[in-house]
């Protein structure tokens, strides 16, 4: 069950990773991130930050997988910070002024947090 939850977390994390990569490439998805501050394409500096966010999500998924005994075990100590960041992201997205961002990412992050909590408590 722990491994299934870890895979669920990683699969769900792939969704915002793909969105951040698309934003970094110039896709007009700004309304789905940073509170909808940029309704179209992100400015160049924010595109760079989207790459950082994508990388951070990949490390977080790696930490959850490592905690479940999968993937790169050196990432396992990052599990609890990854869970904390997931919960903080959930709160931030739930409070986002951007309705599309709230409606899309709040359920995804809720499921990610639930999966990570299941991994952590098993």
In the chain, where the domains are located: 1-121
Report DSSP state, residue 85: H
User: For position 72, what pLDDT does the model report?
Assistant: 83
pLDDT tens, residue by residue, 61-93: 999 999 999 988 899 999 999 999 999 999 999
pTM over 0.85: yes
Q: What's the pLDDT band for 122 if we cut at 50, 70, 90? A: confident
Residue 23, pLDDT score: 97
Supply the pLDDT for residue 71.
81
**Average pLDDT score over residue span 106-112:** 97
Query: Nearest-5° angle of CA 43, CA 86, CA 32?
Result: 35
Q: HSE on the CB side for 19, CA within 13 Å?
A: 17
Q: What is the pLDDT of residues 38-56, one digit of tens each?
A: 989 999 999 999 999 999 9
């Amino acid at each position: 069950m722990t491994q299934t939850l870890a895979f669920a977390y990683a699969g769900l994390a792939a969704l915002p990773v793909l969105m951040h990569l698309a934003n970094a490439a110039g896709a007009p998805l700004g309304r789905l991130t940073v509170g909808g501050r940029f309704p179209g394409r992100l400015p160049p500096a924010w595109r760079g930050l989207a790459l950082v966010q994508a990388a951070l999500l990949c490390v977080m998924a790696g930490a959850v997988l490592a905690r479940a005994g999968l993937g790169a075990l050196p990432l396992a100590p990052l599990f609890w910070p990854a869970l904390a960041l997931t919960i903080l992201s959930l709160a931030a997205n739930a409070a986002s002024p951007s309705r599309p961002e709230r409606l899309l990412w709040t359920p995804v992050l809720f499921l990610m947090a639930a999966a990570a909590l299941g991994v952590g408590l098993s």
